[in-house]
Chains A and B, each alone.
Chain A
Amino acid sequence: KNEVEQSPQNLTAQEGEFITINCSYSVGISALHWLQQHPGGGIVSLFMLSSGKKKHGRLIATINIQEKHSSLHITASHPRDSAVYICAVTPDSNYQLIWGAGTKLIIKP
């Protein structure tokens, strides 16, 4: 079993829809990261969080440490949000990131 599981693997939605991507992990962590990768592009860090909730523009990330679960939400989705969204955790036993497999999001106009 992977230590970081993301769902769904693929998500297609219409412009304007509210998007939720989930991440569950099985190890103790000191931080959880959400990153974005556009097709053929580099990887950009969106959030790093260890508790509660963070918001940046239309993106919201939440984490529940007790349930070992995080969600990434996108409000008023737009075609430019189409990308792969990756969840990763920094385990509290060392500082190597453990990566989820990513969620491929397509937003249709």
Chain B
Amino acid sequence: NAGVTQTPKFRVLKTGQSMTLLCAQDMNHEYMYWYRQDPGMGLRLIHYSVGEGTTAKGEVPDGYNVSRLKKQNFLLGLESAAPSQTSVYFCASSYKVSEAFFGQGTRLTVV
């Protein structure tokens, strides 16, 4: 059982480049989340999904887009990366009220 898998684990982008982070879970969870974690700050929710085909904005959605075409996958896109998006990104999944399972994180640097 892989749990929650994020790819890639590390990435360096130039300002203005685009990229997609992939989150895959094999637990049949309904809820999936994308967070960013910055030094000295708690986890901040970017976008989330309560089921296949649905997405919603979180606390800090600007500059990001998401898609959930399949229940097991939740994609986070950066269309035009900015240095302010340098962060560690975590994906998580859960049932409605259950433990949240996290991926190992993606360390993104935008130069």
Question: Is there an interface contact between A86 and B100, defined as CB atoms closer than 8 Å?
Answer: no
Q: Is A96 an interface residue (CB 8 A)?
A: yes
- Chain B 48-84 near chain A by CB (<8 Å), digits 1 or 0: 1010000000100000000000000000000000000
Task: Say how far A3's CB is from chain B's closest CB, in angstroms.
Answer: 11
Q: Is A52 an interface residue (CB 8 A)?
A: no
Q: How far is the CA of A41 from the CA of B90 in the complex (A)?
A: 11
Q: How far is the CA of A45 from the CA of B21 in the complex (A)?
A: 22
With a cutoff of 8 Å between Cβ atoms, the chain A residues found around residue B1 in the complex are: none
Question: Is there an interface contact between A96 and B42, defined as CB atoms closer than 8 Å?
Answer: no
Task: Say how far A25's CB is from chain B's closest CB, in angstroms.
Answer: 13
Question: Is there an interface contact between A44 and B102, defined as CB atoms closer than 8 Å?
Answer: yes
Question: Is there an interface contact between B99 and A95, defined as CB atoms closer than 8 Å?
Answer: no
Question: Is there an interface contact between B33 and A100, defined as CB atoms closer than 8 Å?
Answer: no
A99-B42, A102-B42 known; A45-B99 Cβ under 8 A: yes
Interface residues on A, range: 20 to 34
Which chain B residues numbered 11 to 47 have a C-beta less than 8 Å away from chain A?
31, 33, 41-45
Q: Is A101 an interface residue (CB 8 A)?
A: yes
Q: Is A48 an interface residue (CB 8 A)?
A: yes
Q: Is B2 an interface residue (CB 8 A)?
A: no
Task: Say how far A58's CB is from chain B's closest CB, in angstroms.
Answer: 20
- Chain A 30-65 near chain B by CB (<8 Å), digits 1 or 0: 110101000001111100100000000000000000
Name the residue of chain B whose CB is nearest to the CB of A100. Answer: B42
Q: How far is the CA of A102 from the CA of B43 in the complex (A)?
A: 9
Which residues of B approach A to under 8 Å, CB–CB? 31, 33, 41-45, 48, 50, 58, 90, 92, 94, 96-105
